[in-house]
Structure 1
Amino acid sequence: MGNSMVRLEQRLSLQQRLSPQHVLFSTLLQMPVMALEQKIQTELEQNPLLEEQTDIETEQERVDEFSDPAQEEIKNSSEEENEPQENIDKDEEYDFEEFLNDEEGYEFNPTLRDASEEEYRPDPAPVTLAEHLLSQFHFLPLSDADREIGEYIIWNINEDGYLVGDVETLANNLSSPPDKIVTPEHFEKILKLVQTLEPSGIGARNLQECLVIQLKEQDKDNELPIKILEHHFDDFKNKRFERLIKNLGVIQEEVKKAIDVISKLNPKPGEGYINTNENYIIPDLIVEKVGSEFISSVNDSNVPQLRINNSYRRILTDGGNVPVDTKKYIYQKLESARWLINSIQQRKLTMIKVMKEIIKRQRDFFEKGRRYIKPMILKDIADAIGMDISTISRVTNRKYVQTDYGVFELKYFFSDRMVTEDGDEISTLRLKNQIKEIIKNENPKAPLNDGQIAKIVAEKGIPIARRTVAKYREHMMIPVARLRRKI
């Protein structure tokens, strides 16, 4: 026999586990308002104990809570409505002659409508870029085979208006030997027809071709701009104006006029046909100034108001001949419904608490605008309101606030700090705005490089390195000095 033996041991360990309620609260807290609405709708479908409370039901509940005198007043008012018509004041009767001679006529007059009544105006059906192009292409006198090639080209045009893929590959994709062979030359021929459709420049394979197509379709003498794009595009792209003047043998004024013509062209002809509904931002919080104070509120007007279904609640309280499994199921769903309702309320209170502290620390921003934003980090808010940094991070994640100066992401109010020569602290966001302002006011014929910008900023009392200026400039998607140059 071996030396192995069965032993009984007792171990003490400490583990951190989140309760289901805390997990649910953390999940709801980091949801933006649209995701919260979808979550609630899903819970309404899955949990029979949850039901949506309508505004009418809320008002009815308030009426039911009235005292006896109020009930008597309602009763008296209903009796007055049932009085004979003879008791109606004659001054309230309609004068049909005056009604028919009304000078306002039957035109729609918005001032006559109740201001609180929301007008319903149906949106027009959105037209995609492909649908717009196909509606034009189908009018061209083409064979079925050529029409198929053209439709295939249109469906391979991206949202910016450019053809995705090279001609040879696309032609091979359409071919099915030996019955059907599409040569690159024939594919190119149909592509040229697609490029004649509106908007101008559509179906190009690159920016150079897109701009040339637009110039050739204009009823103007664009010989020099076309020559610049077709034969000197690299010099034009890198703004080597002196080389353009020398190679073209023209004066500076002519090159300037040609570049002005090119700059008015559309580099993304497909824009304008994208469904912008996906780009809407719905603020989660709203900050309004009432008197001298700023009031924050959660934008939950479209979030369904939940309550627990009383019918199922009575099954648990009344008992009866309800099976044990049914009672257990109802109890589980009841707990889940309570957790959800409490977590939604706790989410609302937490968001308002965080927003109030942000307003307190960034009051100058809300009073005067974005130039007065101060440095602030998540830890500052967490320490002030006694919450964990992870909670503040969840509150500010993917959420927006509506202010008098626009809609901002909550993360916008948090930035690192830099110390000036006087010892004051400024936000790096404010520093970025200073760099943007310096570039905006620079001489376009001789734009400032990063070193020169750093020197100007240092003269204002903020020591900063050239590489820091380059990092902030790239973050703001501002090109280098060479590409900002104008003739």
Structure 2
Amino acid sequence: MRMSFGQEMRMAQKQVLAPRMIQSMEILQLPMMALEERIEQEIQNNETLELDEPEGDNQSTAVADGGSSQDGAPDPSPERTVDERPLVVDQDHANQADFERSYDWSNEYPESDDDRSRPSSGRIDEASDRYLDAMANMEERPETLFHHLHEQLSNYELGPEDRLAAEKVIYNLDANGYLPMPLEGLVELEPAVMTAPEEALHGTASAAIAPVPLDGPAKQLERLERGLAVVQGMEPAGVGARDLRECLLLQIRSSLPHARQLQRLVSDHLEDLAANRLPLIARKTGLSIEEIETLRRDLHMLQPKPGARFTVPYVPVVKPDVHVEQLPDGIWKVRLEDVNLPNLRISPLYREMLAAPGTPPETREYIKRKINSAQWLIEAIEQRRSTLLKTAQAIVDHQTRFLADGPESIEPLKMQQIADRIGMHVTTVSRAVDDKWLQTPRGLVALRRFFVGGTVSADGDEVAWDTVRIKLQEIIQAESKDAPLSDDDLVDELGKGGITVARRTVTKYRKAMDIPSSRQRRDWKLATPPRVGQSPPVVDGDRPVTSGEET
């Protein structure tokens, strides 16, 4: 194969987003809390951007597209560059100390640069108050499973090797308290220095675990078995188990009533119990259905995830971006929830510096670049306000039945419909609703929640999939417990209500709502027993599940 080098010219068209457009898209996609943080960060990084803290009724604020004049009239020359625009300053109410100086910038600017960049005392006090409030409201770090077990381990009288083996088991437990690997896998782990996962994450690691003595694999496995037995004797009961069956058996104490029957049920019939094959269990054990139900209630008192209570669930803190309310004439009106969003302006002081003839060229270029960046941010925030308001109002206009009657009345809606209505691209709508929340009379609702697909009813009307799910749940709740409806029966029941869906759709939604199959929903205590001389019916578990049956 012969290789050669050469040059060629090629013409091509490629769309390149300007930095200004990229910033606008980023600002549009930010939720309210993230936008507040972004503004605070920009204020810290850009000394020409400052909060508009009104000291009088006529104090002006820099706005997008060239700002406004002092009397509120628009600037007649918005196409002028930043350094050619008139200063947006109210001479009657501005701080006189800033304007009575002698602006010999070539001499004064180097010495006073830090003073101009320093935030005002009001901004410092405000930031300090927010910091103190956050510290006062900060939760104490909850106890972790690792620390809980490690504290118990300190009360055991163990030799160094056995203590080290127990620590190794504790270190490798997952968040639910299970040991997700066999002990042979722990033997193969490198005997490196180990710290608690939480401590390593927060950088507060204390004493490290010493290296494991270099014994043979058989000796290490023996020590790990003793260490595992120690951990499995700790609280919470069930910790250190390697599967659900072992976890439940560890929690069945001999002092519990029916302890031996519970142990037998878990050891030999756990899968049948999970599948609600109670008649099969009854025939194998000789217990009655009522006795098995009693044992199952006792098992429900056990904890299948003993370590879960030490896991703090992530609860996102959201602030509504938009608020909707119904006016007296019945119209739903949207307004932005941005009263706490600070008003921004370009610093009049730096505008004066930019216009001053004595400002050094490199300083002028630096200020101009910073002012342009600040102006872009102000315009992007204003564009976000306009786009979000239009998008939210269009969504509300389409989903008035949801607001008035509840989630069961939601209507099918696609983002393309909203994009066509407000005259914007669908990707802009997607960014506008991303992680945004609407405050309604029915609580906080994510804007994306209003976009749902649907099907066509027997009357030709569109029905949202959320409505189908709600109807499906209502039908299952009203079914007979001794003869629950199969997925085929659920399809027929939905059809009676004018909703035509496929069986696989019903199965998908049933599983998504964590609703078990009909065989698992059946209450065997209510089932009709066979007549005298009649063979008992074939029940679930006597035969394998064939394709097409519910699972």
TM-score category of the 2 structures, normalised to the smaller one? 0.7 to 0.9
State the SS of the aligned residue for 1:415: coil
TM-score, with normalisation over the residues of structure 2?
Answer: 0.70
**Equivalent in the alignment of 2:281:** 244
CA distance in 2, matches of 1:304, 1:138: 53
Q: Which of residues 212, 223, 240 is equivalent to 1:203?
A: 240
Residue deviations 1:180-211, cap 9 Å, x none? 98532321222222223222222221111112
CA distance in 2, matches of 1:384, 1:262: 56
**Equivalent in the alignment of 2:530:** none
**Equivalent in the alignment of 1:314:** 352
Contact 2:187 2:217 in 1 (8 A): no
Contact 2:161 2:223 in 1 (8 A): no
Is structure 2 residue 393 aligned with structure 1 residue 377?
no
Contact 2:51 2:345 in 1 (8 A): yes
State the SS of the aligned residue for 1:183: helix
Instruction: Say if 1:430 and 1:10 are closer, same or farther in 2 by CA, change over 3 A.
Output: closer
CA distance in 2, matches of 1:299, 1:29: 15
Is structure 2 residue 183 aligned with structure 1 residue 184?
no
Q: Which of residues 434, 445, 464 is equivalent to 1:408?
A: 445
Tell me the amino acid that sits aligned with residue 417 of structure 2.
Answer: D
**Structure in which a larger fraction of residues adopt helix:** 1
Give, in angstroms, the shift of residue 252 of structure 1.
Answer: 1.2
Residue deviations 1:102-129, cap 9 Å, x none? xxxxxxxxxxxxxxx9996553332222
Structure 1 residue runs of 4 or more that deviate by more than 6 Å after TM superposition? none
CA distance in 2, matches of 1:369, 1:165: 47
Is structure 2 residue 28 aligned with structure 1 residue 29?
yes
Q: CA RMSD in A?
A: 3.1
Listed as ranges, the matches of 1:234-313 within 5 Å are 234-277=271-314, 279-289=316-326, 291=328, 292-300=330-338, 303-313=341-351
Instruction: Say if 1:178 and 1:277 are closer, same or farther in 2 by CA, change over 3 A.
Output: closer
**Equivalent in the alignment of 1:135:** 151
Instruction: Say if 1:368 and 1:52 are closer, same or farther in 2 by CA, change over 3 A.
Output: same
Is structure 2 residue 205 aligned with structure 1 residue 167?
no
Tell me the amino acid that sits aligned with residue 267 of structure 2.
Answer: E
Range that drifts further, 211-220 or 335-344: 211-220
Listed as ranges, the matches of 1:445-456 within 5 Å are 445-456=482-493
**Equivalent in the alignment of 1:146:** 162
**Equivalent in the alignment of 2:376:** 339
CA distance in 2, matches of 1:335, 1:325: 15
Instruction: Say if 1:344 and 1:227 are closer, same or farther in 2 by CA, change over 3 A.
Output: same
Contact 2:48 2:371 in 1 (8 A): yes
Range that drifts further, 376-385 or 302-311: 302-311
State the SS of the aligned residue for 2:438: strand
Is structure 2 residue 250 aligned with structure 1 residue 224?
no
Tell me the amino acid that sits aligned with residue 47 of structure 2.
Answer: P
Give, in angstroms, the shift of residue 342 of structure 1.
Answer: 1.2
CA distance in 2, matches of 1:374, 1:244: 47
**Equivalent in the alignment of 1:43:** 42
CA distance in 2, matches of 1:371, 1:253: 38
CA distance in 1, matches of 2:134, 2:336: 21
Contact 2:436 2:446 in 1 (8 A): yes
**Equivalent in the alignment of 2:100:** none
Contact 1:200 1:217 in 2 (8 A): no
Aligned residues: 423
Listed as ranges, the matches of 1:40-119 within 5 Å are 40-53=39-52, 57-58=53-54, 60-62=55-57
Give, in angstroms, the shift of residue 227 of structure 1.
Answer: 1.0
CA distance in 2, matches of 1:341, 1:272: 46
Give, in angstroms, the shift of residue 25 of structure 1.
Answer: 1.1
Is structure 2 residue 171 aligned with structure 1 residue 155?
yes
Q: What percent identity do the matched residue pairs reach?
A: 33
Give, in angstroms, the shift of residue 151 of structure 1.
Answer: 2.6
CA distance in 2, matches of 1:412, 1:232: 42
Give, in angstroms, the shift of residue 218 of structure 1.
Answer: 6.0
Contact 2:50 2:344 in 1 (8 A): yes
Tell me the amino acid that sits aligned with residue 134 of structure 1.
Answer: H
Instruction: Say if 1:453 and 1:131 are closer, same or farther in 2 by CA, change over 3 A.
Output: same
Give, in angstroms, the shift of residue 386 of structure 1.
Answer: 1.7
CA distance in 2, matches of 1:23, 1:236: 57
